[in-house]
Structure 1
């Protein structure tokens, strides 16, 4: 992808955006791992695209820069993950092919990441729940046996830890601000909360990967995640929303009504100028 941002490689021989083939030819197809990395990459790409929509619209110049930098981190994660996924799914697709050449039904991100930005408090709530999950999952990935994935996990965990600090700070600030800011923060949490359970879902492919010890499952992390998010929300003088309903379907390509326009915006230049280079 053409955006400039952190370049995090998860292929030991490929620091560039378009890696050369591994010595001895392309790696053997690995559908389960390819699917898992594609999902993680889609999460990062879609959330990064959403955050880019705050550029020139954030409440302050500092926040404009902060959200832009968070988005660039996420797009950097997506580049690495999509590149590796394309090399493992047997198709040879590049990161650009996967980002710009799929239909909305082919994206496998969780629904949380595609939710509209709403007001600033909604974005803060979405960042709060996602960044706490990402810190835990990438931190776990840092201990997997694949040295390239482990290296990616370690570096990505450090980056999303800053995203978490940003979200924690704003959650507490809005919760203890004015009556209006506290109401908006509370409403933001209530809007995003039904979409959090999908972060921890497993399917058979992920269970096989986790059972073999190749990558961690997110499911065991949910209790720790809940405890950490609850601590921040409590510190903000608010309460975690009670369970009401849980959204699902993003991993299977079933998305919200707002997702189509988001992907159209993401892919608009590539579709208008197919094969173009800059």
Structure 2
């Protein structure tokens, strides 16, 4: 593999991480369509899912253009197996109850906003452009999920207890958000990516500030679940992909 091909492969893998994060979370949020606690929230979750799907398409389209065989964005979404996906483990966790979904969203949104802000200054023009465009949508996402932390934490005894349990359960996965493996380090070194580790303090301060307004605190233990960025996933992603990819695999090449 020559230097250009190797560089393209590294960038493609980096883009897959960004695209898969958006794609998998979008698919999860679609599970709430028709089941939201109110019509307004039902529509809001669907709109967030559509925002993320649009972002996924941009990242995957760019990634596909760098692939030696020029795989389409649809091929990347529907014809990869679970071990080929590079999304964070946090995002493939089941929807659970409404508090579970909102905590997952809050942890991700507050991280996603910081990452896109950093990537908007990427030396890669396409990465910077996609990040800048997506940032306008994610600004709303993080405000919305932060608002739900306050509503659930300051609501009824039941909503508060469910929120506390959701924070406990999803905390195990947040460490992966800030891991800097070899690929992340390489992308940061060449100015394309960002230093995830450097974002941790700002993320933690923001999350603690929001939760502190309803007198809640994050778990004190160290998060320990990771591997999604390297293709190590569990049964949750596998079962979701079976549903998401079913039509395309039963009727390959079909068009509306």
TM range (shorter): over 0.9
Cα-Cα RMSD: 1.3
1:77 Cα offset (Å): 0.7
For the residue of structure 2 that corresponds to 1:69, the secondary structure is helix
Matched, 1:61 2:39: yes
2:75 match = 97
1:205 Cα offset (Å): 2.0
Give the helix-richer structure, 1 or 2. Answer: 2
Of residues 240, 248, 252 in structure 1, which corresponds to 2:218? 240
In structure 2, distance between residues paired with 1:214 and 1:142: 10
Aligned length: 252
Describe the superposition over 1:204-253 as per-residue Cα deviations: whole angstroms up to 9, x where unpaired. Answer: 12211211212212221011111101111111221111124410111121
1:112 match = 90
1:256 Cα offset (Å): 2.0
Of residues 49, 52, 69 in structure 2, which corresponds to 1:74? 52
1:141 match = 119
In structure 1, distance between residues paired with 2:232 and 2:123: 32
Matched, 1:191 2:191: no
Of residues 151, 168, 179 in structure 1, which corresponds to 2:129? 151
1:30 match = 8
Q: Show structure 1 runs of 4+ deviating over 3 A.
A: none
User: Which blocks of at least 5 consecutive residues in structure 1 are unaligned?
Assistant: 1-26
In structure 2, distance between residues paired with 1:139 and 1:225: 12
| TM score, norm. by length of structure 1 | 0.88
For the residue of structure 1 that corresponds to 2:232, the secondary structure is coil
Contact 2:119 / 2:192 at 8 angstroms: preserved in 1?
no
| TM score, norm. by length of structure 2 | 0.95
1:253 match = 231
2:194 match = 216
